[in-house]
Structure 1
Amino acid sequence: MEARATAKTLRIQPRKARLVLDLIRGKDVVEAAAICKFLPNKGGEMVGAVLKSAVANAVNNHEMNEDALYVKECYANEGATMKRFMPRAKGSASPINKRTSHITVVVAEKE
């Protein structure tokens, strides 16, 4: 049995979110939450919120034991990209891509 949570269109690049997800993959939920809480970057805060939601889904919807949960899998896919332009010299413009992520965290009980 597993429970999942997904946050869509978060304003963080998938590449930066994956750095945090690689740190918590396979860890206990308590340890993963502690890692997310004390990371200095924005990704830690966002991934921590999705992890908290996945744990809540497991406890409330699937009646799992919170102490036996671990992060089974977690990944960040690319969401919609907001395209903007910045003025440059001689009347030209250069593109700016503001990328978004879909972050998914799956938790399961230890056997």
Structure 2
Amino acid sequence: MEQTVSSEARAKVSYARISSRKVKIVIDLIRNKSVGEALAILKFTPKAAAEIVEKLLKSAVANAENNHNMDVEKLYVAEIFANQGPTLKRVQPRAQGRAFRIRKRTSHITVVLKEKE
């Protein structure tokens, strides 16, 4: 009796010091792509978020391989999303004694890998 369990491998980075809006531009490029293709796209994407997402994707692949015994060749990016994290509020002095609010935004990025049937 052989059972087919469609398992998934996840990886998540919390409190990444980059706006979720900037991350979403990069993650939209790799959604539903195979892992090899996604890594190639990220390697040549000239965005700050590409480095963070690439590292996260490699972590998810390692999780799939080590914890779920999945075949790396069959993996694809089933889900990937970036949610807004807490905003660090800072103050920058401006002219005539005024204070200017600086918002240092953070994001939580999650990637889910599945095997192609």
Alignment TM class, shorter chain as reference = over 0.9
- Report the equivalent of 1:43: 49
Matched ranges for 1:61-80 at <5 A? 61-80=67-86
* 1:1-111 correspondence to structure 2 within 5 Å: 1-111=7-117
CA–CA distance in structure 1, aligned partners of residues 102 and 20 of structure 2: 16
Q: Size of the alignment, in residue pairs?
A: 111
- Separation in 1, partners of 2:116, 2:55: 22
Deviation at 1:13, TM superposition (A): 0.4
Shift of 1:94: 1.2
What value does the CA root-mean-square deviation take over the aligned residues?
Answer: 0.6
> 2:51 is paired with a residue of what secondary structure?
helix
2-structure distance, mates of 1:11, 1:40:
17
Show structure 1 runs of 5+ residues with no match.
none
Which TM-score applies when normalising by structure 1? 0.98
Paired residue secondary structure (2:12) = strand
Q: Alpha-carbon deviations, 1:7-41, whole Å to 9, x = none?
A: 11111100000001100000000000111111111
Task: Decide which structure has the larger Cα Rg and report it.
Answer: 2
Q: How many Å apart are 1:66 and its aligned residue?
A: 0.2
